[in-house]
Structure formats: structure tokens, C-alpha cells
Amino acid sequence: MRAAVFYEPLKLKVEDVPKPTVGAKEVLVKVKAAAICGTDLRIYRGTKRIKTPRIIGHEFAGEIVELGEKVEGYGVGERVTVYPVIACGKCYACMMGRPNICVSRPTIGYEYDGGFAEYVKIPEEAVAYGAIIKLPDKISYEEAAITEPLAACLNGINRLDIKHGDHVWIAGAGPIGLMHVQLAKIAGASLIFVSEMNEFRAAKAKELGADIVINPQNEDVYQRIMGETGGKGADKIIVDAGVPKLIEDSLKCARKGARVVIFAGCPEGSKITIDPNWIHYREIELTGSSASTPYLHRKAVELVNNGKIDLKSLITHKLNLEDVVKGLEMKEMIEGLKTLVIP
Ligand SMILES: [Zn+2]
Ligand SMILES: [Zn+2]
């Protein structure tokens, strides 16, 4: 089969590799659509290290074509997507009921071969974990391929704990920010601010439900948010761009008792500078959001299938498997939103 194999930074080759054979408790999925993610770019650039050689790609959907003899509950021909992060179930985080922050969490596309290939083998641990999610009729493979980041966004929105009537600031309108805009809207936000410099993304944010889109190059975000909220600040803020300065700015725009969620990863070793009294006297809650769970991934699929979240308008490019590197370069240049790879 053809697959995109990562060897070392800047060395990713689409080549012939043996088609995986499945063990008794494993499942083989024929990939119909896979999506390029910022993490794939970090792997390609060498800022996220994984064991090599490895077929990358952790956002994908496809059809079950082969089942191990001991796999129950699934059938050949079923349309599925796969939650790629496999929690151990045994560490303290898993025991606490927070498997998304499991201390080990090997992932399909990082520790196991992933979806930038014609076929992907779902390992036994993932099958047992309930990682294979059957797709209902109305969701396409292309949409399903990007329900994995949507599930992560759902975790972020849950962490943000939006109440009806909240004023929410979403910092950044890449694919993640645009998913957050839609989720914030259905969670009951009464005013959604989005800050974004890229004009195409800013227009998308407006189209998908943002009330006020601010271009930080032309306008002071702090002044605008304070002005629109009667000097109070935003109730809930989610930071969707990995820029430390943005986290500092977000805290300044937080009202008393506000909650701020850091969603995007920053470059390793980044620092922020804040006056601790700002958090102390104002009782600001500063937290993070990482990954998701098979449960939230199922909910993400349902939200799309029921027409509550629009993922189609986030898909701006479709490439052949042979062009994965081109897709990664487009990601680097911030071209479009989500790029799909169709094997
Ligand atoms: Zn991803
Ligand atoms: Zn664990």
C-alpha cells in the first residue's frame, strides 16, 4: 500500500509499504479521508519528537475491511472514525476519570502507524478502549476525519464552562477557533468576540457565528472588549493560538471571576509574565485543555451528523496522498483551513 512515512525532520516520504496484517483483536480500516493537523507539522518540523520510521496522521475516517477473529461489535463494511489517543486506564489521571490527561497515552499517528496511508491498523488497545466510532448516515467521511479536533474543542468548551448569556472571547480563528465559535454559540454565549489577523479566517468567523471580529493589527483588542462589555471584560476566554503574549493579553481582558482556558500549545519553554495579584484579587481561573475522550469524540460525531456544527466549510483543500508534504507546507503558510488527504 502507499503511505506517508516520517523518517526525520523534513524527511517524509510517500512510498510502498506492506499492507498491515491484523491480529486476533485488531481491526483494519481502509482510509477514505485524513486531515492534516498542526501537530503533523510539528512532527515534520522536528519540534514534536516521535519514534521513527512512522506513518503519521491521527485524524481520519474510513471503512472497516478486516476484523480479527476475536473482535466483537464491529462488522466489515462499517463506516468509522477512530479516536487516536489511547489512555492506559491505570494511571492516577485515568483513575480520576480524566483519561484525556493520562500519563502515558500512546497515540495512533505518533506511537502507532497512522492514517496518511491506504490502510491503517487499529491496535488491540485502541479497539478495547472503544476508540473505533461507528458513523451515522448523514456524516461524510470527509467531515468525520475532522471530528477528532472537534472532540478536542468540545473538551475545551466544557472546560470553559459557558453559561447562557456569557460574553466569550475566542483568541484566534484557525480551524480550532472556528469550531469553538460554533460550540460557544450552541452553549449559549450571548456575545462572541473573535480576534484574528487573517482576513479569510476573520470572515469565516463572522459567517460561523462570531458577533464581533477584531483584527489586532488595526484595533486594540482590550479597548474593544472593555468597550463592548461596559468595562467589565469577557466572562470566558479561550486561547486558540500558541502565542504566549496572547495569554497575557487574555488575562487583562478577563472580568472578575472569569475563566481562561489555554487551548493551543506554545513552543516548548515559553514564558508568560503576569501580575499574580491580577489573578488573586479578581479570582480569575486560569486552566488548560488537552485532547479528548472516546465519549466526547462520539458526541462530536453526533453534533455534526445532526447539523449542529458545520465542518464542511472548514475543509478548504483536498490532496492526494502523494502530496502530503505539500499539505504540510500549506499548513505552514496558513493557507486555507483544513486540508484533507484522500488516499
Ligand atoms: Zn490533530
Ligand atoms: Zn492513564
CA angle 328, 261, 61 (to 5 degrees): 40
Please tell me whether residues 17 and 135 are part of one structural domain: yes
Q: What is the pLDDT of residues 21-31, one digit of tens each?
A: 999 999 999 99
Please tell me whether residues 138 and 248 are part of one structural domain: no
Residue 122 lies in a domain: yes
Residue 98 lies in a domain: yes
Please tell me whether residues 6 and 128 are part of one structural domain: yes
Q: What is the pLDDT of residues 56-65, one digit of tens each?
A: 999 999 999 9
CA 126 to ligand 2 centroid distance, Å: 13
- The chain-wide mean pLDDT, for the chain, equals 97
Residue 130 lies in a domain: yes
* Three cell numbers written together for 172: 484566534
Domain harbouring 126, CATH code: 3.90.180.10
Ligand with an atom nearest the CA of residue 36: 1
The residues placing their C-beta within 5 Å of ligand 2, an ion, are 87-88, 91, 94, 102
The residues placing their C-beta within 5 Å of ligand 1, an ion, are 37, 39
Residue 299 lies in a domain: no
Please tell me whether residues 142 and 159 are part of one structural domain: no
Please tell me whether residues 139 and 160 are part of one structural domain: no
Give the model's pLDDT for residue 234: 98
CA distance 108 to 94: 19
| DSSP-derived pairing of the beta strands 167-171 and 234-239 | parallel
CA distance 160 to 93: 20
The pTM assigned to this predicted structure is: 0.97
Q: Helices 38-45 and 324-332: crossing angle, nearest 10°? A: 100
Nearest to 20 by CA among 106, 105, 110, 124: 124
Please tell me whether residues 140 and 199 are part of one structural domain: no
CA 307 to ligand 1 centroid distance, Å: 22
Q: What is the pLDDT of residues 218-229, one digit of tens each?
A: 999 999 999 999
Residue 210 lies in a domain: yes
Please tell me whether residues 194 and 80 are part of one structural domain: no
> Domain tally for the chain?
2
Give the model's pLDDT for residue 124: 97
Residue 80 lies in a domain: yes
CA distance 342 to 327: 12
Please tell me whether residues 280 and 323 are part of one structural domain: no
CA distances from 155 to 25, 151, 183, 214, 311 (A): 29, 6, 10, 25, 17
Domain harbouring 238, CATH code: 3.40.50.720
Give the model's pLDDT for residue 268: 86
First and final C-alpha spacing in the chain: 10
Please tell me whether residues 65 and 120 are part of one structural domain: yes
Low-confidence ranges of the chain (pLDDT < 50): none
Give the model's pLDDT for residue 156: 98
Please tell me whether residues 126 and 181 are part of one structural domain: no
CA 227 to ligand 1 centroid distance, Å: 35
Residue 298 lies in a domain: no
Kindly report the three-state secondary structure assignment for every residue of the chain.
CEEEEEEECCEEEEEECCCCCCCCCCEEEEEEEEECCHHHHHHHHCCCCCCCCEECCCEEEEEEEEECCCCCCCCCCCEEEECCECCCCCCHHHHCCCHHHCCCCCEECCCECCCCECEEEECHHHHHCCCEEECCCCCCHHHHHCHHHHHHHHHHHHHHCCCCCCEEEEECCCHHHHHHHHHHHHHCCCEEEEECCCHHHHHHHHHCCCCEEECCCCCCHHHHHHHHCCCCCEEEEEECCCCHHHHHHHHHCEEEEEEEEECCCCCCCCCCCCCHHHHHHHCCEEEECCCCCHHHHHHHHHHHHCCCCCCHHHEEEEEEHHHHHHHHHHHHCCCCCEEEEEC
Work out the percent of the chain whose per-residue pLDDT is above 70: 100
CA distance 254 to 249: 9
CA 93 to ligand 2 centroid distance, Å: 6
Give the model's pLDDT for residue 267: 87
Please tell me whether residues 74 and 132 are part of one structural domain: yes
Task: Give the domain extent around 315.
Answer: 2-146+311-342
Ligand with an atom nearest the CA of residue 40: 1
Please tell me whether residues 247 and 227 are part of one structural domain: yes
Residue 102 lies in a domain: yes
